[in-house]
Amino acid sequence: MFKKIIFGVSIFAGLALVLLFVVGTKKLEFDAMKEAGQQRVQRTESVATSIAQQQSWVEQLQAIGSIEPVQGVRLDAEVAGVVRTIDFKNGQDVEAGDVLAQLDVQVEQAQLRAHEATARLAEVEFKRATTLRESGNVPQSQLDRAIANVEKANADVENVKAIIDRKTIRAPFSGRVGIRQINLGQYIAQGAPIVVLQSYRQVFVNFTLPQQAIARIASGLQVSLHSDVYPDQTFVGRLTAISPQIDPITRTVKVQGTLENPDGQLRAGLFVKVTLTLPVTNEALVVPATSIVYAPYGNSIYKVETQVDEATGARSTVAKQCFIRIGKRRGDFVSVVEGLKAGDEVVSAGAFKLRNGTPVNVNNDLAPTPELAPNPDNS
């Protein structure tokens, strides 16, 4: 019995020693890790910064539009005929009334001469009947018949002239012709296309806006256009028309602006980006868009602050994360509604590699300058 007690106590003591050894070993490891963590110096990250500033933002509406000429038409043949002359070159500027093409009118010209001769004879007979009627030598019915003959002969003359005129294709307004679709000697049917004529001295830009914008827009507002064709130019005009009807399917309203186009740079069908400037100005606290760290749980930004070590008095520059609420975006800037104040220095490049309290080294030598209306070369 005594031996069993001694054996149990020995086993218990052995287990206690083993447990004590394990606990002691782990404590030594944790102490070493703690000491190493305290001695480890956090890596300093290089970042670019920007100052949060107040800007006056003019309210604008953005849309996609298309250019249309103020006057543009495809000239078609009103009557059938054979093309005798073509009096324009492709892409030529023409004036209103210029003859562009002439169909064969030899038969009509012969008919015109015959009708003009008949009209002259009817006029002579009318004068003779008038004189005889005044002397009472002919009845009134003969004078009436002479008057009717004059009117009919003149109508025949006008009819033939109208046919000749319809076979003479003239420019209805000044503009520029496109590429002709007829050839000399070609027989063209009624309604056959001849050439496109468009005036580019003024152009329309047509675009749509959501129905919520109706109460904010009015005729006369400034319209600015940008096109990939002319990346360095801004075309400015005025809003001239607002459709009275809202599309029941898309819930959008059609609007139209008018622009002067003396150089003819804006062509029909050109795709453009439209900016409609509203007469409203708002003050906004803005930072570069690259400063924002987007996350599902909330957007944040890193402020650059100077931190003083209480023990040594050493000063260091660190990044402090703070959550913000953002507003509208304009160009390279984003407005901040909450969580920031004017004058705060924020990280504008390199925020993705930071954590709260990370030491930073500010270097703005290669930092790009944010713009309200950026126009990169590769856009």
The CATH number for 344's domain is 2.40.420.20
Please report which residue ranges of the chain form alpha helices under DSSP H.
2-39, 106-135, 140-166
State the amino acid at position 184 in one-letter form: L
Residue where the block lists tokens 């604008």: 60
Residue 184 resides in a domain: yes
Beta bridge partners of 359: 318
Contact 104, 81 (CB under 8 A): yes
Pairwise CA distance, residues 186 & 365, whole Å:
70
Beta bridge partners of 303: 320, 346
Residues 209 and 296 both lie in one domain: no
Residue 7 resides in a domain: no
Structural domain ending residue among the three candidates 122, 149, 166? 166
Residues 122 and 208 both lie in one domain: no
- Radius of gyration in angstroms for the set of CA atoms belonging to the chain, rounded to a whole number: 44
Residues 227 and 244 both lie in one domain: yes
Pairwise CA distance, residues 76 & 188, whole Å:
10
Residue 33 resides in a domain: no
Closest CA to 197 of 214, 225, 215, 172: 172
Q: Can you read off the two tokens belonging to residue 326?
A: 């953002």
Residue 364 has a pLDDT of: 83
Strands (E), 159-267: 168-170, 175-177, 187-188, 193-210, 222-227, 230-246, 252-260
pLDDT > 70: percent of the chain: 90
Pairwise CA distance, residues 352 & 357, whole Å:
14
pLDDT tens digits, residue range 238-253?
Answer: 999 999 999 999 999 9
Residues 151 and 133 both lie in one domain: yes
Other CB atoms within 10 Å distance of the CB of residue 294: 8
Residues 290 and 341 both lie in one domain: yes
DSSP assigned state of 41: P
Residue 290 has a pLDDT of: 87
Residues 259 and 349 both lie in one domain: no
Other CB atoms within 10 Å distance of the CB of residue 8: 10
Contact 347, 302 (CB under 8 A): yes
pLDDT, block means (10 residues), the chain with 379 residues:
65 71 71 58 79 86 92 91 93 91 92 91 87 80 86 92 92 91 93 91 93 90 92 91 92 94 88 90 86 88 82 78 88 87 87 84 81 65
Closest CA to 363 of 10, 49, 20: 49
Residue 358 resides in a domain: yes
Pairwise CA distance, residues 295 & 6, whole Å:
65
Domain span at residue 334 reads: 45-56+283-362
Structural domain ending residue among the three candidates 227, 258, 281? 281
Pairwise CA distance, residues 69 & 63, whole Å:
19
Residue 8 resides in a domain: no
Count the domains in the chain: 4
State the amino acid at position 78 in one-letter form: E
Residues 313 and 287 both lie in one domain: yes
Residue 19 resides in a domain: no
Residue 223 has a pLDDT of: 95
Residue where the block lists tokens 């006056």: 56
Pairwise CA distance, residues 17 & 21, whole Å:
6
Residues 93 and 110 both lie in one domain: no
CATH code (residue 252):
2.40.30.170
Residues 311 and 272 both lie in one domain: no
Residue 15 resides in a domain: no
Pairwise CA distance, residues 94 & 260, whole Å:
19
Residue 100 has a pLDDT of: 93
Residue 374 resides in a domain: no
Residue 114 has a pLDDT of: 92
The secondary element (H helix, E strand) that includes residue 334 is strand 333-338
State the amino acid at position 127 in one-letter form: K
